[in-house]
């Protein structure tokens, strides 16, 4: 017996706020797994590219639009979805939560940010999707200035190091960190320093384009 095969998109939207990494989840309002929190996702449209479907689905479910989505994986286990086979294309984006108004729509009953370290069991293989997205992020942060979507426009290097340690889940030597990000030309130093606070002023940096 041959069951129909569906193609869907899912989105891991990551943010950084109050010293915590966060992921955007929706509360589902339809079968399967109603009332469960999950990643934003839905079937692709027959008249759209997969990437455009991902942008549309994200906007319909969460209100978020005009962000850069990166395709980071394909999930095709035969039994990952009940009733019939569904192959999912996973996209990931890094954004500043405070810059976006969340609006639940389509089959999303609610939409909100959740601390990554407090995420419990999600439907389907969405826990694996989040883990896969984080592994992709760990690989990319040493190659590209992609964390500019999480940090302020200007920042001291210790703030950048704190975010790296949070993502990598490991301690980083301060001197080696400074040498690495500067030698790889990920950032450039500004003629400005931090103001206020109990610590002595530190130079501010920005990501290179």
Domains plus CATH for the chain?
Answer: 5-124 (3.90.79.10), 146-207 (1.10.10.10)
Q: Which two tokens stand for residue 88?
A: 């999912």
For residue 48, pLDDT over 60 is answered with: yes
Residues 6+ apart with CB under 8 A from 90: 9, 10, 11, 12, 71, 72, 73, 74, 75, 129, 132, 133
- Inter-residue contact 20 to 116 (CB < 8 Å): yes
What is the per-residue pLDDT for 147?
87
Summarize pLDDT for 5-41 with one digit per residue, the tens: 889 999 999 999 888 999 999 999 988 888 999 999 9
List the beta bridge partners of residue 95.
15
Angstrom CA distances, 168 to 123, 162, 164, stand at 25, 10, 6
> Is beta strand 37-38 parallel, antiparallel or unpaired with respect to 70-75?
unpaired
Instruction: Check residues 46 and 54 and name the one with the higher pLDDT.
Output: 54
**According to the model, what pLDDT value does residue 196 have?**
67
DSSP state of 61: H
Give the pLDDT of residue 2: 59
Q: What is the mean pLDDT of residues 173-191?
A: 88
pLDDT at position 144 is 80
- Mean of pLDDT values over 172-192: 88
For 112-159, what is each residue's pLDDT tens digit? 999 999 999 999 999 999 999 999 999 998 888 888 889 989 999 999
Rounded to an integer, the average pLDDT of 87-95 is 96
Mean pLDDT, range 86-101, rounded to an integer? 95
Tokens 């929190």 label which residue?
37
Give the range among 35-39, 189-193, 205-209 with minimum mean pLDDT. 205-209
Q: How far apart are the C-alpha atoms of 40 and 57, rounded to whole Å?
A: 8
What pLDDT, on a 0 to 100 scale, did the predictor assign at position 61? 97
Compute the Cα dihedral for 93, 97, 98, 101 and give only its sign.
positive
Long-range contacts of 53-59 (CB under 8 A, 24+ apart): 53/9, 54/9, 54/11, 54/89, 54/91, 57/9, 57/11, 57/106, 58/11, 58/13
């Amino acid at each position: 017996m041959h069951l129909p095969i569906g193609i869907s998109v899912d989105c891991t939207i990551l943010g950084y706020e109050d010293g915590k990494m966060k992921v955007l989840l929706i509360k589902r309002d339809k079968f399967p797994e109603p009332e469960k929190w999950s990643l934003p996702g839905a079937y692709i449209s027959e008249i759209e590219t997969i990437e455009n479907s991902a942008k549309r689905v994200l906007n319909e479910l969460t209100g978020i639009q005009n962000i850069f989505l990166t395709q980071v994986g394909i999930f095709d286990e035969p039994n990952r979805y009940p009733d019939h086979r569904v192959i999912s294309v996973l996209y990931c984006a890094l954004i500043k939560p405070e810059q976006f108004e969340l609006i639940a729509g389509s089959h999303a009953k609610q939409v909100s940010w959740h601390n990554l370290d407090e995420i419990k069991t999600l439907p389907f293989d969405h826990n694996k999707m989040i883990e896969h997205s984080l592994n992709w992020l760990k690989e990319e942060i040493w190659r590209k200035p992609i964390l500019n979507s999480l940090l302020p426009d200007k920042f001291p290097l210790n703030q950048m190091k704190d975010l790296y340690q949070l993502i990598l889940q490991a301690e980083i030597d301060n001197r080696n960190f400074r040498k690495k990000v500067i030698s790889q030309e990920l950032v450039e130093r500004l003629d400005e320093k931090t103001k206020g606070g109990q610590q002595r002023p530190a130079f501010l940096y920005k990501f290179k384009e």
